Amino acid sequence: MPQRRTFLVLILSVALLVAIGGLVAALPSVLGIVSHTSRPTRPHPGSGDTTRDTTTSPDTTSTTGSTVAGRPPTFAVGMTTQVFDEPAPATTYDYATGATTPGRQMVTLIEYPALPRGTATNGHDLAPARQWGPYPVILFAPGYDMAPSGYEALLSSWVKAGFVVASPSFPETNPAAVSAAAAAGYPHGTPEASMVDQPGDVAFVANQVAREAGTPGSLLNGLVNTSEIALAGQSDGGTAVAALAYGTNPYYTGPSFAGPALDVRISAVAVLSGATLYDAAYSPARAGLPPLFMVQSATDACNTPQSATALYDAVNPAVKFFLLLDNAGHLAPYTGGTDATLVEDSTLGFFELELEGRGSPAALISSGTVPGMSSLAATARAPALAPVVEDGQSCYS
């Protein structure tokens, strides 16, 4: 009996110590204290030849979203317009009058994570949320006869999640310039021919944004992370950014009279209903090409499926995704149509993955695959799609 009692006391003592240990371990969460663990450095999912430190910082409170303590889940959208003047030898051609003027004026809408003021959650005078910056930046190129404001829902969805977006209005193809040429009867051809100059325009604006980010007193100083820059574009804008990021023709990649050399590293490219650019040739597979995210509708008669798949198959980054929309128009998926929310979420997931190291390719593919609406895959070749007859009247739907 004494031995049994001693053994029983020993078991009870051990159980009591375990219970006390569990209570001690639980105390931090009971008291609202968050413990922080470190994650190992991992290869960046998009580049293949670079690594990114994803160690959780001491003020990180989430392992799923790199959410810094106090950072709001959604930002307000601050806006400002900056004019970047590209000097000669760059030129601007007026398709209404046939006049050529030296230089190119790039009127650029810049949207940034901001602090709300009262009930105002977007506006031109909202204070930037610098305390959680710097933020990755997305350079967005609009399509033909489109202004950046036409994509406001899409662009603001990126800003609300913590990205700075800079979107230039192209001198010859913005709505005012196209309307003037149309009113004159297109006496000097279509302004769309100027899209060959747009890769250089995007490079120029990207360089200017990086310069502003390094200029004390500038709005972008301390707000933009110039080591994490993405390119995005819709329609002709998508064609332009693809030629800049993956092309081998010096006319499109600079330096040339079409534009300056791109002085910043591109970490990701999103092409929304884009195609190959005229005589552009595209780089063979090599390390360091930025990951690609392409969006295309199987029924788009403006930028046809065969145009999009030709571009997808021509570019050769190690990582590329193809989001196929089953039945969407050319413009509506990016301007508030039925598929707009899906496109917003999928492109945002891509940028978070490639610019911030958040999420995973598998999670991105899962979120972009909606039966009866879309499919998303990371494949070397584009899906086999039935060709569609081109119809220019569908470009605004």
Predicted confidence (pLDDT) per residue in 249-284, tens digit:
888 887 766 678 889 999 999 999 999 998 888 988
CB distance 230 to 351 below 8 Å: yes
- CA gap 60, 37 in Å, rounded: 10
One domain, residues 207 and 151: yes
pLDDT at residue 91, rounded to an integer:
93
| Calpha distance 60→51 (Å, rounded) | 20
Specify whether 29 is located in the same domain as 81. no
Residue 10: its pLDDT value, please?
Answer: 35
Task: Please name which of 261, 383, 361, 380 lies closest in space to residue 315, comparing C-alpha atoms.
Answer: 380
**What pLDDT does residue 67 have?**
54
Residues 147 and 2 occupy one common structural domain: no
What span, in angstroms and rounded, lies between the C-alpha atoms of 367 and 347? 11
Distance CA 243, CA 237 (A): 10
pLDDT at 118: 86
Instruction: Record the tokens describing residue 262, joined without a space.
Output: 């791109």
| Residue 180: how many other CB atoms lie within 10 Å | 14
21 and 108 both lie in a single domain: no
Q: For residue 44, what are the contacts with CB-CB under 8 A and spacing of at least 6?
A: 50, 51, 52, 354, 357
d(CA 109, CA 82): 7
CA distance 292 to 10: 63
pLDDT tens for 71-102 read 899 999 999 999 999 998 899 999 999 999 99
* Domain ranges, residue 8: 1-33
Decide which of 251 and 206 is more confident. 206
| Spatial distance between the Cα atoms of 374 and 19, rounded to a whole number of angstroms | 51
As a whole number, the mean pLDDT across the chain is: 84
Number of domains making up the chain: 2
State the average pLDDT over residues 302-318.
96
pLDDT greater than 60 at residue 19? no
Average pLDDT, integer, range 188-204: 95
- Residue 24 pLDDT grade (very low, low, confident, very high; cuts 50, 70, 90): very low
Q: Please compute the mean of the pLDDT values over residues 50-63 and round it to a whole number.
A: 30
- Verify that 323 and 186 share a domain, yes or no: yes
Q: How far is CA 213 from CA 135, 210, 253, 375, in A?
A: 11, 5, 23, 37
Q: Is 129 exposed, middle or buried (0-12, 13-18, 19+ CB in 10 A)?
A: buried
The pLDDT of residue 284 is 83
Instruction: Read off the pTM.
Output: 0.83
Percentage of residues in the chain with pLDDT exceeding 70?
Answer: 82
Q: Residue 287: its pLDDT value, please?
A: 79
Do 219 and 170 reside in the same domain of the chain?
yes
- Of 230 and 65, which is predicted with more confidence? 230
Query: 120-171: per-residue pLDDT in tens?
Result: 888 888 999 999 999 999 999 999 999 999 999 999 999 999 999 999 999 9
Cβ–Cβ < 8 Å for 389, 301: yes
- Is pLDDT larger for residue 232 or for residue 23? 232
Distances 54 to 40, 66, 67, 252 between C-alpha atoms, Å:
7, 9, 13, 34
pLDDT at 377 (0 to 100) = 97
Q: Are residues 210 and 299 both part of a single domain?
A: yes
pLDDT at 55 over 80: no
Range from 25-39, 202-216, 330-344 carrying the lowest mean pLDDT: 25-39
Residue 2, pLDDT > 70, answer no
CATH of the domain at 356: 3.40.50.1820
Same domain (yes/no): 20, 64? no
Alpha carbon 288 to its chain centroid, in Å, reads: 18
What pLDDT does 17 receive? 38
Q: Tell whether 56 and 98 lie within a shared domain.
A: yes
pLDDT at 7 over 80: no
The answer to whether residues 2 and 103 belong to one domain is: no
pLDDT at res. 33:
28
How many Å apart are CA 68 and CA 174, to the nearest integer? 39
**Do both 7 and 80 map to the same domain?**
no
Same domain, 142 and 265: yes
